[in-house]
């Protein structure tokens, strides 16, 4: 997926936005801090953490200034539960 994202960034002529979702298919927590976190599986969270790291390390620096990169990741409460 990293290679595909980099290929798209390098070859898309009129790309304006790119959104990378690290927990595709899983419900997200509410922004309300009083609502409990919906992500429970540590496997999902560990994979999401690896994906965020890969995006920062391999993709983020390849994003042209004309492209808006959005990275959708688990809430901070979910990530904190990894310890």
Residue 64 lies inside a defined structural domain of this protein: yes
CA 57 remoteness from chain centre: 12
Say what the pLDDT of residue 36 is: 60
Full-model pTM = 0.77
Residue 29 CB-density burial (10 A; 0-12 exposed, 13-18 middle, 19+ buried): middle
The reply to whether 11 falls in a domain is: no
Q: What is the mean pLDDT of residues 42-56?
A: 89
pLDDT of residue 37: 63
Q: Tokens 């390098």 label which residue?
A: 10
Q: Average pLDDT of 3-23? A: 94
The pLDDT of 62-68, averaged and rounded, is 95
Q: What is the mean pLDDT of residues 35-41?
A: 62
Is 39 or 82 the better-scoring residue by pLDDT? Answer: 82
Is 22 inside any structural domain?
A: yes
- Count the domains in the chain: 1
What is the span of the domain harbouring residue 45? 2-6+16-80
Of 77, 59, 53, 42, whose CA–CA distance to 6 is shortest? 59
> Is 71 a member of any domain?
yes
42 membership: H or E segment, kind and range: helix 42-54
Q: Would you say residue 63 lies in a domain?
A: yes
């Amino acid at each position: 997926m990293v290679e595909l994202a980099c290929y798209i960034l390098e070859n898309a002529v009129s790309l304006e936005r790119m959104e990378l979702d690290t927990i595709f298919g899983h419900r997200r927590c509410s922004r309300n801090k009083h609502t409990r976190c919906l992500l429970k599986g540590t496997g999902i969270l560990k994979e999401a953490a690896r994906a965020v790291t890969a995006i920062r390390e391999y993709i983020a620096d390849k994003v042209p200034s004309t492209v808006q990169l959005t990275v959708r990741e688990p809430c901070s409460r979910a990530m904190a539960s990894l310890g």
